[in-house]
C-alpha cells in the first residue's frame, strides 16, 4: 500500500503544483543537496519534486552504485552531476547536505560516512538497522557538528499536529488506549523486493514503522513541545508471521505495548503491520485500509485515517462517548505549527523539506524529529523483534556474503 500511496503522491504533486514551479529562481544561499540512493523509487516524491517548489533548496548531484542509473535519473530530473558511487558524491565540495534513500540496512553506514564528510543528513526511515546503530549515527553528528534528521515526513504535516493538539489539550480526558495499523495487500510486493531481505533490514515492522511512530507520537509527552521524544513503551507481547522464503523476516507483526507516563498514567497500545495482508474472502485486496490510528480517550475516540500521506486524503473523526455524535475535520495547511506557511498542495515531504532547510540554515524549524525520538523508535523496534524471537535487524555491512 505504501507504494500505491507514493504513486498517488507523484500524481498529486503533478496536478497541484504551480505550473511555473520548475522555473522558480533559487536563493543565492539555497541548500545544495545530493541524493544517495539514486535508483530508489521514493526519490521523486520525497525530495526531487518538493525541492522544485522551494527557493531555498536545489539538488546538485545524484549517486547510484550503477552510473547508468544515476545518469538516467540526472537527465530525467535535470540534475547537473551524476556519480557511480556514493563516495564520489560525498567528496564533492558543492554538496552540503544529502538525502539518503538506500535500503534500510545501509542507512546507518552512509549516514555516518556523510556526517564525517561534513554533510548534513536527511535520512529515510527506519533510521538505522537497530538501536545501537542509531546511537552511533548521532554520536557522529555530534562529533561533526552537522545535522541529521529522520525523514518521518508524515509527522511534519499540519493534520498530524492538529491530532496531537487535540490529544494534548485535555478536552477529551486522558488517553486510555490506542490501535495503529498499516497494511499492504497480498502479493503487492514482489519476492525480489528489498523489503524481504533480512541482510538489508527487511521486514514489516521495519518498512511499516509508521504505525509504531504514530503511536509513540500521540501517546508520548503531554506537552506539544516534547514531541513525544524518547518515550519508549514496555513490550508486553508480540508475535510475527514469518516470510515464507526467509523465516528471519516478518511478513506481519503484532505488538501489545504499555506506556507508563508521568503521574502514574498508563496507556495500552496495539500495533499491526503487514506486508502481505490476506485478501477479503481470499480474492479482494483490502485497498481501502490506509494507515490509521485510533486513540481512545476518556470522553471521546479520535480516529486519524491515512496519517501516513494526509496530503492525498485524510480525515479526523471525533466520536463523543456519551452522545455518540461524530464530527469530522480535515487539515491540508495552516494548523498549530505552520500558521501562514504552507499551501494546500504541499505534500508531507514538502513540509519536511521546509523544516530541514530552516534547520540547515540556522533557523528554528517548525517541527523536528529529535535524536531521542529516533533512538527510542529503533530501540522499541529491537524490543518487539526480541519478543517475537526474530531478534534485531543486522547492519548490512556485518552480514555481507552471508
Catalytic residue among 71, 81, 125, 232: 125
C-alpha cell at 57: 533548496
DSSP-derived 3-state class of residue 78: coil
How many beta carbons lie within 10 A of that of residue 152, not counting itself? 24
Q: What is the rounded distance in angstroms from the CA atom of residue 150 to the CA atom of residue 135? A: 13
Enumerate residues 6+ apart whose C-beta is below 8 A from 359: 147, 149, 365, 368
Enumerate residues 6+ apart whose C-beta is below 8 A from 23: none
Nearest to 122 by CA among 377, 353, 381: 353
DSSP-derived 3-state class of residue 284: strand
Nearest to 200 by CA among 40, 7, 2, 33: 40
Enumerate residues 6+ apart whose C-beta is below 8 A from 28: none
Burial of 122 from C-beta contacts in 10 A (0-12 / 13-18 / 19+): buried
Is 125 known to be catalytic? Answer: yes
Active-site residues: which are they?
A: 125
Amino acid at each position: 500500500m505504501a507504494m500505491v500511496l507514493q504513486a498517488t503522491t507523484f500524481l498529486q504533486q503533478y496536478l497541484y503544483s504551480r505550473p511555473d514551479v520548475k522555473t522558480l529562481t533559487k536563493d543565492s544561499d539555497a541548500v545544495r543537496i545530493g541524493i544517495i540512493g539514486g535508483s530508489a523509487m521514493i526519490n521523486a516524491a520525497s525530495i526531487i519534486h518538493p525541492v522544485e517548489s522551494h527557493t531555498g533548496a536545489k539538488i546538485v548531484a545524484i549517486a547510484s552504485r550503477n552510473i547508468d542509473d544515476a545518469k538516467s535519473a540526472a537527465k530525467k530530473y535535470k540534475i547537473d552531476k551524476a556519480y557511480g558511487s556514493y563516495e564520489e558524491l560525498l567528496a564533492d565540495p558543492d554538496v552540503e547536505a544529502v538525502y539518503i534513500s538506500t535500503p534500510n540496512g545501509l542507512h546507518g553506514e552512509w549516514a555516518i560516512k556523510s556526517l564525517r564528510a561534513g554533510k548534513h543528513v536527511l535520512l529515510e526511515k527506519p533510521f538505522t538497522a537497530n538501536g545501537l546503530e542509531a546511537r552511533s549515527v548521532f554520536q557522529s553528528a555530534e562529533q561533526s557538528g552537522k545535522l541529521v534528521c529522520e525523514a518521518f515526513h508524515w509527522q511534519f504535516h499540519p493534520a498530524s499536529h492538529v491530532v496531537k493538539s487535540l490529544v494534548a489539550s485535555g478536552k477529551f480526558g486522558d488517553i486510555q488506549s490506542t490501535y495503529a495499523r498499516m497494511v499492504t495487500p497480498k502479493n503487492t510486493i514482489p519476492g525480489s523486493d528489498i523489503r524481504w531481505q533480512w541482510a538489508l533490514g527487511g521486514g514489516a515492522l521495519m518498512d511499516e514503522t509508521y504505525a509504531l511512530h504514530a503511536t509513540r507520537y500521540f501517546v508520548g509527552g503531554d506537552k506539544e513541545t516534547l514531541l513525544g521524544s524518547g518515550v519508549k513503551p514496555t513490550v508486553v507481547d508480540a508475535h510475527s508471521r514469518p516470510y515464507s522464503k526467509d523465516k528471519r523476516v516478518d511478513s506481519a507483526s503484532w505488538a501489545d505495548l504499555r506506556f507508563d507516563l508521568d503521574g502514574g498514567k498508563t496507556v495500552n497500545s496495539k500495533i499491526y503491520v503487514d506486508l502481505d495482508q490476506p485478501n477479503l474472502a481470499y480474492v479482494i485486496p483490502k485497498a481501502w485500509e490506509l494507515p490509521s490510528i485510533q486513540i481512545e480517550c476518556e470522553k471521546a475516540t479520535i480516529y486519524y485515517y491515512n496519517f501516513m500521506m494526509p496530503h492525498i486524503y485524510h480525515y479526523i473523526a471525533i466520536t463523543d462517548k456519551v452522545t455518540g455524535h461524530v464530527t469530522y475535520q480535515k487539515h491540508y495547511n495552516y494548523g498549530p505549527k505552520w500558521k501562514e506557511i504552507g499551501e494546500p498542495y504541499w505534500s508531507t515531504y514538502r513540509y519536511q523539506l521546509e523544516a530541514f532547510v530552516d534547520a540547515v540554515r540556522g533557523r528554528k524549524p517548525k517541527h523536528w524529529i529529535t535524536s531521542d525520538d529516533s533512538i527510542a523508535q529503533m530501540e522499541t523496534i529491537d524490543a518487539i523483534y526480541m519478543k517475537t524471537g526474530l531478534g534485531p535487524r543486522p547492519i548490512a555491512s556485518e552480514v555481507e556474503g552471508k
